[in-house]
Amino acid sequence: MPPHEPDQSGGGHRNEPMAVHPSPSTAPFDAREGGAAERRLVVAEQGNGNGNGNGGEREDDPKRDNGYVCPGEMLAMLGPSGSGKTTLLTGLGGRLPGKLHSGKITYNGHPFCGSVKRRTGFVAQDDVLYPHLTVAETLRYTALLRLPRKLGAAEKAARAEGVMLELGLGRVAHSMVGGVRGVRGLLLLDEPTSGLDSTTAARIVGALRRMAADGRRTVVVTIHQPSSRLYHMFDKVLLLSAEGCPIYYGRAADALPYFASVGFASRLSVNPADLMLDLANGISPDSKESNEINNGDSNLANESAETVARDPKAVKEELISAYDRNIATRLKAELCGVDPANFGYARDTSVRVKREKWSIGWWEQFSVLLSRGLKERRYESFNKLRILQVLSVAILGGLLWWKTPPSHIQDRTALIFFFSVFWGFFPLYNAVFTFPQERPMLAKERASGMYRLSSYFLARTVGDLPMELGLPTAFVVIIYWMGGLRPDPAAFVLSLLVVLFSVLVAQSLGLAFGALLMDVKQATTLASVTTLVFLIAGGYYFRETDRYECGGAATCPVVDFPAIKSVGLTHMWVDVCIMGLMLVGYRLLAYSALHRLQPPTR
């Protein structure tokens, strides 16, 4: 039978950093549980460190945190700013590989793997959403990417709609920006109520509580300063001191009786969360109440201060000592008795986990990402200002070179030079912004194991083609005929292909710079220098080709010398092949930079 619910629990040795090795659900996907059937028993245990408090951890690293959260429960992590709440939550979500030094975290009795990350909902404190997708589109694309392939597209869309209605978002379904990160068997939320009024915060926590109770999901949240109403919605509470040491772990309803039993009772009726945060900062209830009651009588206040004032450091040491005596030992024993089999979980899932490394296949990932990308960038790509910019430049250029006579070779050369410069700079600088802007979303979704990098990269590449090739085509159609260039369809098509090829190469170079540096300012500077080098070496600023005497008083270009001509240096396909190599090379460089940037944790 499942382990009994402890009244108070926690444990470990002082100042020992905890390492995270999270892991997969063993429960099969159940269509009855709203798309998140893999219920999770989450267990965190401290490491067997030397207890010296060193080991290279940051000051806000959690120390010696033990505990477990069962399906159907909601655990709230409380503590002052800098106590390590977010660090611990991030560790539980598997987002700190190699940065925590000892201990372990298990999910249904198993260590962490990519399957667990993909099936765990992690809601960061900062919003990371595509701004031009609606609430319904955001949830639908998340469902299409994360739910298993055995579910059809219609069923996945129905799941997304169910989540939207469960969160009360039906009335804003078609409003841009907003939504959640998916509802999974394990939900990790970093301060989900920050910036909300008390009523909205209560609705959010109430919805999470219903998800935990009705769907047998495990919910873990960090919360800064909950109201009394929010506090009583929590099943369990983990309280961290300002130094990151646990001073309480157990049922939320048992927190005040516990602190009263160790000598920190409050004589006033207070919000339990307020009392606990005071204790986490080393402020005893007697000291605070004495100052509040006697603030009008200095003599009485001084007398009370002498009798009840306690040093904050001593208060925290006493609380940590009480935690070790009353909670840690018992929690360790309970952790040893926690068996995922009691919750209906199978043990051997290695084959299943390997088979379901990705929720859907490569082609389906590509299709969903392409569809999402086209919808997200339809406002950016077909921006009226951008279209007006290109068309106005084309018309202005056509007027400047209006019907240039064939005899005006220099004017025609200047027009071709204008082609090269404009479509060498324009797509390059637009592409530089691509990956730095998408980095937060790419990092979040890749960290969740939603899709392969190759499917994302190719979907992004294909999705950019309509606008990247559409505008240059319109540009060439306008300025070619207005400029009076050779009125031959074959010559026009060849000129158009050259421009489009140049656009793709320039865009590839911009993508590579953006992916390598991930800083718009640095990438733009490097792009400027590189473009200037290409411009100078492009041949427009060199004098006419050297000539040699080829009979009598006649002179011929050096490139027409028979020996040189036989080598084929002027052959068009050599230039095409070089451009093709640049196109592929720059794209591969961008892909490698993205893959090296933040690969998914296996």
pLDDT digits (tens, 9 = 90+) for 366-414: 999 999 988 888 777 677 888 899 999 999 999 999 988 888 878 888 8
Higher pLDDT, 47 or 110: 110
Estimate to the nearest angstrom the gap between the alpha carbon of 462 and the chain centroid: 22
Q: How far apart are CA 504 and CA 584, in angstroms?
A: 10
- Most confidently predicted of 14-28, 127-141, 481-495, 540-554: 481-495
d(CA 56, CA 71): 34
Q: Is the separation of the CB atoms in 405 and 483 below 8 Å?
A: no
Residues pairing with 104 in the sheet? 45
Task: Tell me the three state secondary structure of residue 222.
Answer: strand
d(CA 409, CA 544): 13
Give the bridge partners for 236, in sequence order: 75, 251
- The amino acid that residue 78 corresponds to is L
Per-residue pLDDT, 600 = 42
Judged against a pLDDT cut of 90, whether residue 119 lies above it is answered with no
Count of alpha carbons within 13 angstroms of residue 468, beta-carbon side: 27
Separation of alpha carbons 70 and 404, rounded Å: 79
3-state DSSP of 233-255: CCCEEEEECCCCCEEEEEEHHHH
Contact predicate 8/248, CB 8 Å:
yes
Instruction: State the residue for tokens 């209906």.
Output: 344
What band does 566 get if pLDDT is binned at 50, 70 and 90?
A: low
**CA gap 116, 110 in Å, rounded:** 10
Burial 80-98 (b: 16+ CB within 10 A, else e): beebbbbbbbbbbbbbbbe
75 forms beta bridges with 220, 236
The pLDDT value recorded for residue 122 is 78
Instruction: Quote the tokens at residue 507.
Output: 């865009």
For 520-569, list the strands marked E by DSSP. 547-551, 554-557
- What angle do helix axes 572-597 and 453-482 make, rounded to 10 degrees? 140
Backbone φ and ψ of 338, nearest 5°:
-75, 120
Helix (H) / strand (E) containing 123: strand 120-123
Per-residue pLDDT, 207:
85
Residue 209 predicted with pLDDT over 70? yes
Q: What value does the mean pLDDT take over residues 75-80?
A: 85
Could you read off the pLDDT of 348-375 as tens digits, one per residue?
A: 444 344 445 678 889 999 999 999 988 8
**CA separation for the pair 466, 468 (Å, rounded):** 6
Mean pLDDT, all residues of the chain: 76
Q: 336, 30, 73: which is closest to 186 by C-alpha?
A: 73
What pLDDT, on the 0 to 100 scale, is given for residue 266?
80
Predicted confidence band at 587 (pLDDT cuts at 50, 70, 90)? Answer: very high
More confident: 433 or 466: 433
At residue 301 the predicted structure's pLDDT band, cuts being 50, 70 and 90, is very low
Q: Which of 85-99, 165-179, 565-579 has the lowest mean pLDDT?
A: 165-179
The whole-number pLDDT of residue 17 equals: 33
Helix (H) / strand (E) element for 77: namely strand 74-78
Angle at 55 between CA 51 and CA 60, to 5 degrees: 90
pLDDT of 53: 40
Confidence of residue 84 (pLDDT cuts 50, 70, 90): confident
Going along the chain from its start, the domains and CATH numbers come out as 31-129+179-349 (3.40.50.300), 362-597 (no CATH)
pLDDT for res 548? 67
| pLDDT for residue 61 | 55
Whether residue 3 has pLDDT greater than 70? no
124-138, 145-159, 495-509: range with lowest mean pLDDT: 124-138
555-566 burial string, b = 16+ CB within 10 Å, else e? Answer: eeeeeeeeeeee
Encode 161-191 in three state secondary structure: HHHHHHCCCHHHCCCECCCCCCCCCEEEEEC
Over residues 312-345, the pLDDT tens digits come to 888 888 999 999 888 888 887 777 766 555 555 4
Dump pLDDT digits (tens) for 227-284: 888 888 999 999 988 888 899 999 999 999 999 898 888 877 788 888 898 888 888 8
The model's pTM is 0.62
Mean pLDDT is highest, among 291-295, 569-573, 574-578, for 574-578
Interatomic CA distance for residues 140 and 136, integer angstroms:
6
